[in-house]
Chains A and B, each alone.
Chain A
Amino acid sequence: MDALRDVIYGSGLLHVTWGTVLMWSAAFLLMFLAIKKQYEPMLLLPIAFGMLAANLPLAGLMEPGAGFLWRFFHYGVEWDIIPPLVFLGIGAMTDFGPVIANPKTLLLGAGAQVGVVFTLVGAHMLGFDLREAAAISIIGGADGPTTIYVGAKLAPSVLGATAVAAYSYMALVPLLQPPVMKLLTTKAERQIVMRQLRPVSKVERLLFPLVSTLVICLLVPASAPLMAMFMVGNLFRESGVVDRLVKSSQNELMNIIIMLLGLSVGATLSAETFLRPQVLMIFGLGMIAFILCTATGVLLAKFMNLFLKEKINPLIGAAGVSAVPMSARVVHAIGSEANRKNYLLMHAMGPNLAGVIGTAVLAGVFISVLGG
């Protein structure tokens, strides 16, 4: 009879609180968004389940030192193994042609990051300390793995919330960006037609990851874990001689790593960490970050036009918010709406990809200044 009593008392049911139930509801909501509305399901679904798993009392999945999910989080994320590997996969999937064909887009990738800096100031003024503010504002870079990387290094307490915010807003880009883009541009500017991109040779494609690795990692060494892996993945792809490695990076590796990333990050969202007023502020700041980054990207493009003989369509600046390829699609749609002769999709891919680099560089600066 004692054994039966122990089993009953060992059951988690007795430890369920309102907070626990609320977290389950939040997890179910995210699952609904992922499955029914298809908001970034590859990340949001594992994150949502991780959130559920973290709120199963006594299951101990996130028990420090012993929990199964805790181990993945500690050794995978805190030990910087998973996010760089995600970048390896992304690099293997990325075609940098649009960037190489028009290197000016690299500056646009930088322009959108200025919005992150503005959000940083705002977040700090709202009471977050610098490390938390950095982890929150980097949401504006629209880069999941980078957001997670910065969160893990600088402010693990906000990591889960920033990851959920980042992926949710990436899915909402078609709603968040257009009003900002239209507000800041004139109809005439939106109608600017951009000439077809020049073809890019194989040699250029091979040299891009090498040159980039040297430049980026020497100037901002703290971004190296992400950027070096990004570039080696790209090198594998462009070399054309390691097809097996490329295929595995794009498929098996990415799939496995993303599952583990989502689950372990979601699992940090226990009731204690999520049910705080700061989380609402984080979501608010995340949205502001996306909006500001769209604005600064577009504004920089307009500014660059003052000095360019061949004008760029300022809309592509919005693609510096590196939700790949969502923002590029939004730019194309709005450009086409203004002028049917405009096909901005590939032109927008330039800033879109440059923005990935930009966010990682800014993340590296935050980490090296604030000390990870």
Chain B
Amino acid sequence: MEIVAYVPGKVLDVKVAVGDEVQEDQEVAVIESMKMETKVYAESSGIVAEIRVKPGCMVELGEVLLVLK
């Protein structure tokens, strides 16, 4: 399943790596939007298969951040 950005902005931090196991509601990334740090949480549990962004890159609303298996 894909974890998308629900706010547009700049990715500040990605808290997991490919292969990590994540739990539901675990913080996986931080995006800065409207000068506010917004935390991105996993919507379900799984294993990180892909990370499509890295700190510093800009994301649009709806852009995929991570893919979980």
Q: Which residues of A contact B (CB under 8 A)?
A: 196-197, 199, 325, 328-329, 332-333, 336, 340-341, 343, 345-346, 349
Contact = CB atoms under 8 A, between A and B. Distances in A.
A332 B25 contact: no
Given A196-B6, A197-B61, A341 B25 contact: yes
Interface in B11-47: 25, 33-36, 38-39, 41, 43
A340 B39 CA distance: 9
B64 interface: no
Nearest to B39: A336
Contact of A340 (B25, B34, B35): B25
Contact of A345 (B25, B38, B41, B43): B38
Contacts of A329: 34-36
B62 interface: yes
Chain A CB within 10 Å, residue with most, of B35, B38, B39: B38
Contact of A332 (B4, B38, B41): B38
Interface of B: 4, 6-8, 25, 33-36, 38-39, 41, 43, 61-62
Given A196-B6, A328-B34, A345-B33, A340 B41 contact: yes
Contacts of B43: 341
Contacts of B41: 340-341
Given A340-B25, A340-B41, A345 B62 contact: no
A328 B34 CA distance: 9
Given A329-B34, A345-B34, 5 more contacts: A199-B62, A325-B36, A329-B35, A340-B39, A345-B38
A103 B17 CA distance: 39
A199 B6 CA distance: 12
For the complex of A and B, 5 pairs with smallest distance between CB atoms: A343-B6, A325-B34, A340-B41, A329-B36, A345-B7
A343 B65 CA distance: 15
A333 B35 CA distance: 13
B34 A196 contact: no
B38 A196 contact: no
Contact of B61 (A196, A333, A341): A196
A197 B7 CA distance: 10
